[in-house]
Structure 1
Amino acid sequence: MIDKGYVLTMARYNAWQNRQIIDIVKVMDEADLRGDQGAFFGSILATLNHILWGDTLWMSRWCSDIVAPQRNFEDWADYTGTLGNWEAQRFAMDGRIRIWAETLSNLDLTGELVWTYTATGQEMRQPMGMCIAHMFNHQTHHRGQVHAMLTAQGRTAPTTDIVFMPEEN
């Protein structure tokens, strides 16, 4: 389904997108970050926390040094508490995703992942490659919601087209 090259590209893309978002949100006021924008998760910061929460959860399934979020499933909206904490944790997670991607082999992308679904406690089984593709798709999907909220506020949203990603990422 996927290969190491895909994972490396998506890890680079994820970090590039998040750096662009950080540059925008770090100069925003709290009301614009936390105000309900009518999006699925309400606010920009809640959506960014949801993405980070999901990344942390998925990465904990693949990397023994990542601890799964200890908060209740419903508590992801305020996962990091502050924008500064989100920025620091996002930067660290993006670096960890890049390191993980660099250490993978194509063989690591085969087989099944077995995990317990946080929301229901149900045991899940899915192909490893599909789970990894899902993590990257999940990020992209919800960053699109952030893009829409930024645009609705009249801000210049980041470039999202992967074909314009700089080579040095």
Structure 2
Amino acid sequence: MSAALDHLRLMARNNAYANERLYEACCKLSQVEFEAERTNFFPSLLETLNHNWEVDRYYLDALTEGGEGLAVFEVPFLRDANDLAMAQAGLDRQLIAFCDGLRASDLEREIAQDRGAKGTVKETIAATLMHLFQHQIHHRGQAHAMLAGTSVAPPQLDEFFLNFERHPAAQRHIDTFSREENL
């Protein structure tokens, strides 16, 4: 297996783990705290997490060549943290399956991305995945900071890669990678 593929497959699992931990915390918030205006790029946890969910749908559609393009954004916000958690977990499973199905030769294959008035652009699968993971990390960090101003403590999100401090939830995701590698 290639190091690049292994890295992307592990990043997909890290993404799922971090989202799972973040949503565990957000689901403990009252609806008022979840929707409360806070200082950040998006003005609430509700809006930040909906943005991540929307953008994940957009890039997963592009990666799988689903053909929806910008139409993926024509879905109302999910208002409840539990609903968002389930929706995000479903996308995270799809992203893991997508990464697990890749071959090394797929990484440089270009896929179309609908950019509206800017037209359709082509990007490689590898660049798109790296961007998607970075986007999630960026906005999860913002949500994490917003949680610090609530009644629920923000969880550790970086206990994934190192054995000595791996969170049990991370281990479940690592174990699925290890099982796939041994098939």
Aligned partner of 2:133: which letter? F
Match of 2:152 in 1: 155
Q: Aligned-pair distance for 1:160?
A: 2.1
What SS does the corresponding residue of 1:37 show, helix, strand or coil?
A: coil
Identical aligned pairs, as a percentage?
21
Query: Do 2:57 and 2:72's aligned partners in 1 also have CA atoms closer than 8 Å?
Result: no
What SS does the corresponding residue of 1:144 show, helix, strand or coil?
A: helix
| Structure 2: gaps of 5 or more residues | 174-183
Please say which structure displays the higher CA radius of gyration. 2
| Structure 1: gaps of 5 or more residues | none
Tell me how far apart the structure 2 counterparts of residues 168 and 116 of structure 1 sit (CA, whole Å): 35
* CA RMSD, Structure 1 to Structure 2 (Å): 2.3
Q: Aligned-pair distance for 1:48?
A: 0.6
Alignment of 1:1-169 (within 5 A): 3-64=4-65, 70=71, 79-118=77-116, 120-153=117-150, 155-161=152-158, 162-163=160-161, 164-165=165-166, 166-169=170-173
Aligned partner of 2:64: which letter? C
Q: Aligned-pair distance for 1:66?
A: 8.5
Deviations 1:5-47 (A, max 9, x none): 1111111101111111121111211111111101111001110
Q: Aligned-pair distance for 1:123?
A: 2.2
Gap change, CA 1:135 and 1:104, over 3 Å in 2: same
Aligned residues: 164
Structure 2 length-normalised TM: 0.79
Structure 1 length-normalised TM: 0.85
Match of 2:178 in 1: none
